[in-house]
Structure 1
Amino acid sequence: MAGKPKGKSGKAQQREEGLEKTDNNLPLTSWPQVPMINQKNYYTEYLKREDQYLAYRTLQEENTNRMVREARDKDRALAQGNGVPMANGNGAADNDEDMMDVDDSSEIHGSKIIVIHPGSQNLRIGFANDAIPKTVPMVVARRWKENESEENGGEPLPKRVKIDGEVPEEPEKQFGEEFASMCNTLSADLKARLRYKKIRLMPNSKELVVNYNRRSTPEMITEHNDPHRIEWTEIPARNPPDCITGAAALRIPENSKPRYKLFWPIKNGWLNEKDYKQKNMVLNDYFLVIEDAMKKELGVTRKKDLQQYSCVFVIPDLYEKVLVQTALEEFMRDFGFRRICFMQESLAASFGASYTMTCIVDVGAEKTSICCVEDGMCIEDSRINMKYGGRDVTEFYIKKLIHSHFPYSDINLKRRYDFLLAEELKQKFLSMNETDVVGNTYEFHLRAAGQDTRKYSFRVYDEIILPGIGYFDPSRFNFEGKLDGRRSIVDRSYDLYDNSPNDPTSAAQAMVLQWATQNIPSATIQVAESSTKPTATPAITATPQRDRPLNLLSRLQEMDGTPRSSAANSPAPEGTPQPRQGSPSGDATGANGTRPEPIDDRLRIAEESDRILPIMPLDEAIIVSIRQAARSDDRKMRDFLGGVMLVGGGCKMPGFNTFLEDRLRTILPGMAKEIMVGLPPRELDQQLVAWKGGSVFGRLSSSGNDSWVYQKEYDILGSKLLVQKLMFAY
């Protein structure tokens, strides 16, 4: 049996054979060695403290800098009061930073904050310390081969019906038999309601109005005798501008050389995809109006000066993420604002009116939004956005006037001076007071470029009240073409990971879409069965064809268990490039450039929603919104009904709030005593309430407003910051 040699130990044998284990105290590698973690007891603080978030650290730095400036200003004031010189031995200031602080402290609070509230027709813009904002028409006039009134063979608006190729001379027949029948029905219903309320009427009021308007002829006034003549925009013969924005665009003569065509970047609360063919063009015009307004109205002529300014941007309650992210990128990259924050319209209106619990009803030019606000937060499932407003009332008003032999029967809303005239007539003469239906006589002046002023007199009967009642019976409005081009150049936002549409929705909005499909067939467009998106110019059909009835609300409940609200946008992984020009940061495409299929049914629901124009009577929509906000809580229901507030220029008619109160009390007789519809307090203009709320919010101290997005944060994280910064679920 073999063994180890006698007289030798095991270590000696290993040493002789070179197998002895030695240690020269030299590490095997220069890389640091990390000891193993004790799996039974270990702890980490990663993302468990607020100071580990960049957004929080930036806010703390701003607060610290503000406190330092205030302390330095206080010391400076004390030193100057005691006669201590605040200069070095050479008589110069201590440093440039002190001089900057002196300038900042002497400025009026809010003078470096610009509040922007864009709309379909007007842009409200101004400094946060201004009493009222500047109002700029949201329009761009571009050099074109023909103006808007010359397109399509000069077809006017409202569109006249042709019989045997010609428009009838009788005004009663110019809009078809259906419109004439509807007017007779509306007049009979109004007369019956006035008799029920014991309001006396002349038996032949309608005939007297028609006969007077038939005999009315204009009075000519020369230009030098017109004290209110209009200064028209002069186009230079040499080097005419490519585009003109704002009020100057609406004052360009129709026969200008060269021709100019008006473009409205916002249509029905959406980006205008009907008149634009490229996304870059509509976004360029959108921000061009804002930039020119800052230069002409606010005096900020150089972009590099915007580095000293902050921006409060007011957005719709049911916003589109593409526009929000594009605005953030544009204001940070191109404009160069120091910081920016976003605020929803209804919340801004509640700030402007100082309401803590209210139902905001915002009737704009082309959209009407409703939302319940409680304790500084918009209740998500109560948000409603409907696509009708003041312009629909204007069009119906003009049609009703022409039907009653309006003396200026050639009025055409596609002509700029006629559009401004129609808006003036609506603001002056429309009313919702039933006692005003007495057949009064009114006057107006028609001013056109290169023509003498014409003074008209006319009479109206029920024409002053019937257009406003259209808010409670929207079927009388014309919805033709409002969905043309929808989703043709601006795609919706998608989640990066599951590829589902993540624009905010609400249970109340789903009920509005459901009502529109069941009651107004013309509000739904039909697409081919194999198509997944509506075409650029979809055809309007009387009866939409589907395999099964559309019920968006129940399908949303089936997917989530509860009505779907705003979906949070998942952050993009490191190294993901941020898209430019409004592309949603959540866009995800495959290797071949195609989008992978979604994992759920949300894409189909989003596409079906895009083919439906959200329409519902205003009084019913308010009740739907409040019920979704109250959630079967009777006390909350009564509180919201007692705090309904009207804002926006579309409802700026005498007696509108009283008329709405009566409609709500008719629907909810058990809560008639609690229902109250009010106007903004302190005689604040209804059109400016949302902007005023944005100015109040912007002037809050940094400790009370932590939703500012700073340049440093945006450079690092991009639009992903919005998930943490915004006051609402994004």
Structure 2
Amino acid sequence: MEYLKSVVPSQLISERGSNLVVINPGSANIRIGLASQDAPFNIPHCIARYTNQVPKRSVQDQMLNSQVTTAQHMERERAYDVIASLIKIPFLDEEVANNSFPRKMGRIDGHHNGKRDTVFTWTDVHERDPTSSVTVESSSSKDVSQSLDQHVETDSKELSPSVIKYRQFICGEDALKISPIEPYCLHRPIRRGHFNISQHYSMQQVLEDLHAIWDWILIEKLHIPLSERNLYSAILVVPETFDNREIKDMLTMVLQDLRFGSAVVHQEGLAAVFGNGLSSACVVNMGAQVTTIICVEDGVALPATAKTLPFGGEDVSRCLLWTQRHHQTWPPIRTDILSKPVDLLMLNRLKEFYCEIKEGEVDAVAVVHSYEEGTPAGSHKTRLTALNVPPMGLFFPMLLVPDVYPPPPRACDDIFRFHDHEDMLEETWHTEYSRRPDLPDNVYPGVNVNFPMWDSYPVYATKPKKEENVGLAEAITSSILSTGRIDLQRKLFLSIQLVGGVALTRGLVPAMEERVLHAIPCNEAIDTVEVLQSRTNPSFASWKGGAIIGVLDFGRDAWIHREDWINSGIFVASGRKYKDSYYLQAQAMCYMNS
């Protein structure tokens, strides 16, 4: 205790963080790195696998409903007009020439590494025989991207078919940049905050894909071979959306298949508080596909305050495309984020550079790229309009119609091989279990084992997740007021913390403060709202907090050792419980506040 209070934080991280791997899995991206790093690798959470199926599926996903209904379209248009009234721009069907609002024209300075270009090149999907006389810098461990015209010319003129073969799988951003004509199928193992299980995407395949992606990152990015993993410990920083069973499966993968020596689970919202050096806050985590809200008081997450909103940054990007098409400012090109994931990459980049929340008309001249099969990217200079409308969809979710990827079908029991959908913060963590007597000590569940050790454990009634179809301001207000204590409510309304990639949206903070203040009922004795300035990159706040907690918490009983997990499942006859990992003892809080 005295050492923790006196040691310099950077010294502690340097001493303990060199063998701690922090893993923060998200729906669209995974943030992973050593605790001693300043920032993690931020990698698209997907994998493209070689396939010889006919007909070929370019994307392995749910795609249950890819059409907008008439009612949804009308609701979206009404939401647009409400937003237009608030930010003082013409309504959807008004002619710009007939309005009195001054037009603001010009480029908007981006702030993401100074990169404005949205041109991407197709990924080279071939492996070369190292014994061939042709020298090409390519291997299964290094993704080489080049323009498609060069790619085709090289293949046809310099390489004979006998020395070319397809890479079995490709991970990360390069998986999103594979031409649709290539024999690959893109898999996204996590969708909307849950395992992406469907009739077309089995649990076993989801786990195999997760294992392949994480193992590839550990080898290629962190340079930790399988033979040395037992010397490392893993910190899993998991979103509140994950079910207990999903967390158990990830723990099994980390300890059994990836072979870490030990692991611990921490909650994403709580980790975000520590990432910014706080002890209490209302954490609003705005990811690519899901937004979660939870209140933390003195290092303890309050389960009753948890909220889940089924939208995120990718929905804002899709809304940007819808807005431009409605205003007929989008070039006449085939932009299809279902069959061409590279188009979503382009839209995300445009959103990050040009969208902001402010009053008045916000237009910009931008270069949009088209990605057609068999040709290099085409450039189209265009004027984008109403760029302040899409991010306002966070407060008016009817603008963000879920017309591409609906939430995973959690209610379809025939699709799932388990039923314990209890919340990760529920009291069921206190239940003590015994190991199945018919399960040998050297047999344990994994990706390729169809004998789950959890079958004999108690099954709890399915409880719906706290998902709500309300705007961000109303959800934050409801979350804080649910604490029921006026002193805590006032404290939390002054301590709203925005994390996740969407938190980088320009103009979001003042808009958030204004909208939340207006959402507080008039009979509540609260008249001030404040969004705290982030002390670290909002995209990595939860990952950074996980690193800090892991360093401070290392060696406590919450850590799960590989042998214990394999041989006993859940710490049989011990006083250790998973829930301990969500509650930080006084030494950590004392250290953070000192």
By the TM > 0.5 criterion, same fold?
A: yes
Q: Closer, same or farther in 2 for the Cα pair 1:651/1:111, shift >3 Å?
A: same
Q: Which residue of the partner structure matches residue 189 of structure 1?
A: 82
Give, in angstroms, the shift of residue 134 of structure 1. Answer: 0.6
Q: Closer, same or farther in 2 for the Cα pair 1:423/1:147, shift >3 Å?
A: farther
Q: Which residue of the partner structure matches residue 45 of structure 2?
A: 138
Give, in angstroms, the shift of residue 240 of structure 1. Answer: 1.8
Any idea what the Cα deviations from partners look like across 1:138-196, whole Å, max 9, x if unmatched? Answer: 111122335555999xxx99957xxxxxxxxxxxxxx7876775565445434433459
Count residues with an aligned counterpart.
505
Checking the alignment, whether the CA contact within 8 Å between 2:192 and 2:408 is kept in structure 1 is: no
Q: Closer, same or farther in 2 for the Cα pair 1:187/1:625, shift >3 Å?
A: closer
Letter in 1 for 2:473: D
Judge which range, 272-281 or 114-123, deviates more: 272-281
Any idea what the Cα deviations from partners look like across 1:26-78, whole Å, max 9, x if unmatched? Answer: xxxxxxxxxxxxxxxxxxxxxxxxxxxxxxxxxxxxx9xx9xxxxxxxxxxxx
Q: Which residue of the partner structure matches residue 473 of structure 1?
A: 396
Match of 1:627 among 477, 481, 484: 481
Q: Which residue of the partner structure matches residue 142 of structure 2?
A: none
Q: Distance in 1 between matches of 2:270 and 2:565?
A: 25
Q: Distance in 2 between matches of 1:179 and 1:449?
A: 32
Q: Which residue of the partner structure matches residue 132 of structure 2?
A: none
1:580 aligns with 2:580: no
Percent identity between the aligned chains? 21
Q: Secondary structure at the match of 1:475?
A: helix
Checking the alignment, whether the CA contact within 8 Å between 1:661 and 1:675 is kept in structure 2 is: yes
Q: Closer, same or farther in 2 for the Cα pair 1:492/1:623, shift >3 Å?
A: farther
The answer to which structure, 1 or 2, has the higher relative contact order (CA under 8 A, 6+ apart) is 2
Q: Distance in 2 between matches of 1:277 and 1:234?
A: 23
Q: Which residue of the partner structure matches residue 325 of structure 1?
A: 248
Q: Secondary structure at the match of 1:700?
A: helix
Q: Distance in 1 between matches of 2:267 and 2:231?
A: 24
Equivalences for residues 688-699 of structure 1 within 5 A: 688-699=540-551
Any idea what the Cα deviations from partners look like across 1:187-221, whole Å, max 9, x if unmatched? Answer: 5434433459xxxx9952889999x9xxxxxxxxx
Checking the alignment, whether the CA contact within 8 Å between 2:118 and 2:346 is kept in structure 1 is: no
Q: Which residue of the partner structure matches residue 444 of structure 1?
A: 368
Match of 1:656 among 508, 522, 526: 508
Checking the alignment, whether the CA contact within 8 Å between 1:356 and 1:375 is kept in structure 2 is: yes
Q: Closer, same or farther in 2 for the Cα pair 1:720/1:580, shift >3 Å?
A: same
1:242 aligns with 2:168: yes
Q: Which residue of the partner structure matches residue 255 of structure 1?
A: 181
The unaligned stretches of length 5 or more in structure 1 are 1-62, 67-104, 161-174, 213-225, 495-500, 507-563, 590-594
Any idea what the Cα deviations from partners look like across 1:544-573, whole Å, max 9, x if unmatched? Answer: xxxxxxxxxxxxxxxxxxxx7555333125
Q: Secondary structure at the match of 1:424?
A: helix
Q: Which residue of the partner structure matches residue 717 of structure 1?
A: 568
Checking the alignment, whether the CA contact within 8 Å between 2:20 and 2:233 is kept in structure 1 is: yes
Judge which range, 339-348 or 391-400, deviates more: 391-400
Match of 1:490 among 403, 413, 416: 416
Equivalences for residues 61-460 of structure 1 within 5 A: 109-144=16-51, 145=53, 146=55, 148=57, 182=75, 185-195=78-88, 204=97, 230=121, 232-236=123-127, 238-256=164-182, 259-274=183-198, 276-300=200-224, 302-405=225-328, 406-414=330-338, 415-435=340-360, 437-446=361-370, 450-460=374-384
Q: Closer, same or farther in 2 for the Cα pair 1:493/1:383, shift >3 Å?
A: same
Checking the alignment, whether the CA contact within 8 Å between 1:206 and 1:461 is kept in structure 2 is: no
Give, in angstroms, the shift of residue 725 of structure 1. Answer: 6.5
Checking the alignment, whether the CA contact within 8 Å between 1:483 and 1:613 is kept in structure 2 is: no
Checking the alignment, whether the CA contact within 8 Å between 2:307 and 2:479 is kept in structure 1 is: yes
Q: Distance in 1 between matches of 2:528 and 2:553?
A: 36
Q: Secondary structure at the match of 1:382?
A: strand
Any idea what the Cα deviations from partners look like across 1:112-159, whole Å, max 9, x if unmatched? Answer: 11111111111111111111111111111122335555999xxx9995
Checking the alignment, whether the CA contact within 8 Å between 1:141 and 1:263 is kept in structure 2 is: yes
Q: Secondary structure at the match of 2:379?
A: strand
The unaligned stretches of length 5 or more in structure 2 are 4-11, 106-116, 128-160, 584-594
Q: Which residue of the partner structure matches residue 618 of structure 1?
A: 472
Q: Distance in 1 between matches of 2:169 and 2:365?
A: 41
Q: Which residue of the partner structure matches residue 423 of structure 2?
A: 504
Give, in angstroms, the shift of residue 288 of structure 1. Answer: 1.3
Letter in 1 for 2:394: Y
Letter in 2 for 1:418: D
Q: Distance in 2 between matches of 1:280 and 1:456?
A: 43
Letter in 2 for 1:587: D
Q: Closer, same or farther in 2 for the Cα pair 1:207/1:297, shift >3 Å?
A: farther
Checking the alignment, whether the CA contact within 8 Å between 1:381 and 1:565 is kept in structure 2 is: no
Give, in angstroms, the shift of residue 708 of structure 1. Answer: 1.5
More helix per residue: 1
Q: Distance in 1 between matches of 2:565 and 2:504?
A: 40
Give, in angstroms, the shift of residue 588 of structure 1. Answer: 3.1
Q: Closer, same or farther in 2 for the Cα pair 1:586/1:726, shift >3 Å?
A: farther
Letter in 2 for 1:424: R
Q: Distance in 1 between matches of 2:558 and 2:315?
A: 36
Any idea what the Cα deviations from partners look like across 1:477-536, whole Å, max 9, x if unmatched? Answer: 333562554344334454xxxxxx6x1278xxxxxxxxxxxxxxxxxxxxxxxxxxxxxx
Any idea what the Cα deviations from partners look like across 1:347-389, whole Å, max 9, x if unmatched? Answer: 1101111111101000111111111111211112112223221
Q: Secondary structure at the match of 2:569?
A: helix
Checking the alignment, whether the CA contact within 8 Å between 1:368 and 1:389 is kept in structure 2 is: yes
Q: Which residue of the partner structure matches residue 727 of structure 1?
A: 581
Q: Which residue of the partner structure matches residue 80 of structure 1?
A: none
Checking the alignment, whether the CA contact within 8 Å between 1:209 and 1:460 is kept in structure 2 is: no
Q: Secondary structure at the match of 2:181?
A: coil
Q: Which residue of the partner structure matches residue 46 of structure 1?
A: none
Give, in angstroms, the shift of residue 428 of structure 1. Answer: 1.2
Any idea what the Cα deviations from partners look like across 1:627-667, whole Å, max 9, x if unmatched? Answer: 22x22x11100001110111111343101121111111112
Q: Closer, same or farther in 2 for the Cα pair 1:364/1:488, shift >3 Å?
A: farther
Checking the alignment, whether the CA contact within 8 Å between 1:253 and 1:449 is kept in structure 2 is: yes
Q: Secondary structure at the match of 2:402?
A: coil
Letter in 2 for 1:641: F
Q: Secondary structure at the match of 1:380?
A: strand
Q: Secondary structure at the match of 1:379?
A: strand
Q: Distance in 1 between matches of 2:59 and 2:31?
A: 30
Checking the alignment, whether the CA contact within 8 Å between 2:59 and 2:186 is kept in structure 1 is: no
Give, in angstroms, the shift of residue 333 of structure 1. Answer: 2.1
Tell me the TM-score normalised to structure 2 length. Answer: 0.75
Q: Secondary structure at the match of 2:31?
A: strand
Tell me the TM-score normalised to structure 1 length. Answer: 0.62
1:676 aligns with 2:523: no
Q: Closer, same or farther in 2 for the Cα pair 1:208/1:491, shift >3 Å?
A: farther
Q: Distance in 2 between matches of 1:191 and 1:477?
A: 15
Any idea what the Cα deviations from partners look like across 1:232-283, whole Å, max 9, x if unmatched? Answer: 2232454423322212211222212xx1111100011111112644321111
Q: Closer, same or farther in 2 for the Cα pair 1:189/1:386, shift >3 Å?
A: closer
Checking the alignment, whether the CA contact within 8 Å between 2:367 and 2:380 is kept in structure 1 is: yes
Checking the alignment, whether the CA contact within 8 Å between 1:504 and 1:567 is kept in structure 2 is: no
Checking the alignment, whether the CA contact within 8 Å between 1:441 and 1:457 is kept in structure 2 is: yes
Letter in 2 for 1:440: A
Checking the alignment, whether the CA contact within 8 Å between 1:380 and 1:565 is kept in structure 2 is: no
Query: CA-atom RMSD, angstroms?
Result: 3.9
Letter in 2 for 1:266: I
Give, in angstroms, the shift of residue 326 of structure 1. Answer: 1.7
Give, in angstroms, the shift of residue 718 of structure 1. Answer: 2.0
Give, in angstroms, the shift of residue 691 of structure 1. Answer: 0.6
Q: Larger C-alpha radius of gyration, 1 or 2?
A: 1
Checking the alignment, whether the CA contact within 8 Å between 2:256 and 2:446 is kept in structure 1 is: no
